[in-house]
Structure 1
Amino acid sequence: MAEPILHVAIVEDDEEIRQTLALILNGTPGYYCRHTFPEAESAVRDLPELLPRVVLMDIELPGMNGIEAVARLKPLLPATDFLMLTVRQDDEAVFQSICAGASGYLLKDTAPLDLLRSIREVSEGGAPMSAQIARKVIQSFHRSQASPLSERETEILRMLSEGLNHRSVASALFLSPHTVKTHIKNIYEKLHVHSRAEAVKKALKDKLI
């Protein structure tokens, strides 16, 4: 029995990438792409009426980002699977995407054949992820079983262990110095320590970072 033809929509601001993806889909039996969007706002407006089976969603978009777009669209399109296709590999992007309602997460260097397989897989109930992303998810799961720290606190503590001060951490993470200080205070309380050196030592000993 032939596999069902999958209606795929694309949200991608890079015109060359957007057109290439559409060509791959429309040139492969079992897939078609009639609708592409250069930014999230028009996708959020139009996709609920178009009812695609799968949406390939970039994250870094002009205006609204792809994660917010998924969070808005998923309640309106419960039968649609959202597959992130991005250059972002950081933990925060991965887990925010999953929390927003994405069913899979691929990097843009994914080979065309693997991309097609992933689209089919997600439409059949799977959760495809690039190998690097799957490893991050597993590592985070392992950390969460033993670590009292949040993902953000772990990230900040890791940066402190590399010698950055709180202002440098704030700049790197686009946070205010006050917010970083609050996170550091919470880290100290959770680890029952009183200094950065003690926090880093305990985190390394307990394999929290």
Structure 2
Amino acid sequence: MSGSGEGTIMVRVLLVDDHPVVRSGLRAVLEATGRVEVVGEAASGEQALALVPSARPDVVLMDLNLGDGIDGVTTTTRILATGPTTLGAARPPAVLILTTYDHDADIVRAVEAGASGYLLKDASPEAIADAVAAAARGETVLASGLAQRLVSRMRAPSEPTLTPRELEVLRLVADGSSNRAIARALFVSEATVKTHLVHAYEKLGVDNRTGAVTVARERGLL
């Protein structure tokens, strides 16, 4: 963090979101608080990883869904593995998830990846600025109501985990895609799609597509 103005501590932030309008809006509202200096913007996880060393942020404000490239959780893991990027810092930049998704599975994945917090995009500018400052201090921040859900989720008996590809297939099923369409979209055979579905059925305790989508949604996987 660097000093600015009359002793105000400015937090250096890198914005990562695949929507330019969202990035512009975040930059405007955060810089208007006088507490944040936006030192860079990235539209993808790959861009974020390339920018971190030169931008030297204290906090990376990260969306979960970043389009066709690596997602926010994977990007978070890789950023935290890079080590400190700010001169004299003892740790890598903090990563704060800011997204529209409040699925329990996404929250758990983000926290397990090392994210310092998880906020929803309907938070007020001041709440986001407060969270950014807290993350820069090494604190953990969760949106109101998410903390108890996270604790309950992590205390619950463990359930068989769907693989990323099984989840990908289920998301396409939920969108109404046929096995043939899913196979084309993922560049695999229909037999492979069926195999992923069978494994997903077993893990979710169901025997059909509708049941799989329903249970996956109930568990916050979709």
Structure 1 length-normalised TM: 0.71
* 1:15 is aligned to 2:20: yes
- 1:60-139 equivalent positions in 2, closer than 5 A: 60-62=65-67, 63-77=69-83, 78-139=91-152
In the aligned structure 2, how far is the partner of 1:141 from the partner of 1:57? 23
Q: Is the 8 A contact 2:40 2:51 kept in 1?
A: no
In the aligned structure 2, how far is the partner of 1:9 from the partner of 1:168? 32
Would the alpha carbon gap of residues 82 and 148 (structure 1) be closer, same or farther in structure 2, given more than 3 Å must change?
closer
* 1:53 is aligned to 2:66: no
Aligned to 1:171: 173
Q: Is the 8 A contact 1:48 1:73 kept in 2?
A: no
Q: Is the 8 A contact 2:17 2:43 kept in 1?
A: yes
Give the unaligned 5+ runs of structure 1.
153-166, 189-194, 197-207
Would the alpha carbon gap of residues 47 and 187 (structure 1) be closer, same or farther in structure 2, given more than 3 Å must change?
closer
State the Cα distance separating 1:121 from its structure 2 match.
Answer: 1.1
Instruction: Give CA-to-partner distance per residue, 1:102-145, whole Å, 9 cap, x none.
Output: 111111111111111111111122111112422320221331xx
* 1:33 is aligned to 2:38: yes
Which amino acid letter does the alignment assign opposite residue 171 of structure 1? Answer: V
State the Cα distance separating 1:186 from its structure 2 match.
Answer: 6.0
In the aligned structure 2, how far is the partner of 1:51 from the partner of 1:169? 36
Q: Is the 8 A contact 1:170 1:180 kept in 2?
A: no
SS of residue in 2 equivalent to 1:59: coil
Q: Is the 8 A contact 2:100 2:120 kept in 1?
A: yes
Moved >4 Å (runs of 4+): 167-170, 173-177, 183-188
How many corresponding residue pairs? Answer: 178
Q: Which range moved further: 178-187 or 12-21?
A: 178-187
Aligned to 2:11: 6
Q: Is the 8 A contact 2:161 2:203 kept in 1?
A: no
In the aligned structure 2, how far is the partner of 1:112 from the partner of 1:169? 32
CA RMSD in angstroms, aligned pairs only: 3.4
* 1:43 is aligned to 2:48: yes
Using the aligned pairs only, state the percent identity. 22
Q: Is the 8 A contact 1:9 1:35 kept in 2?
A: yes
Would the alpha carbon gap of residues 12 and 187 (structure 1) be closer, same or farther in structure 2, given more than 3 Å must change?
closer
State the Cα distance separating 1:92 from its structure 2 match.
Answer: 2.2
Q: Is the 8 A contact 2:39 2:55 kept in 1?
A: no
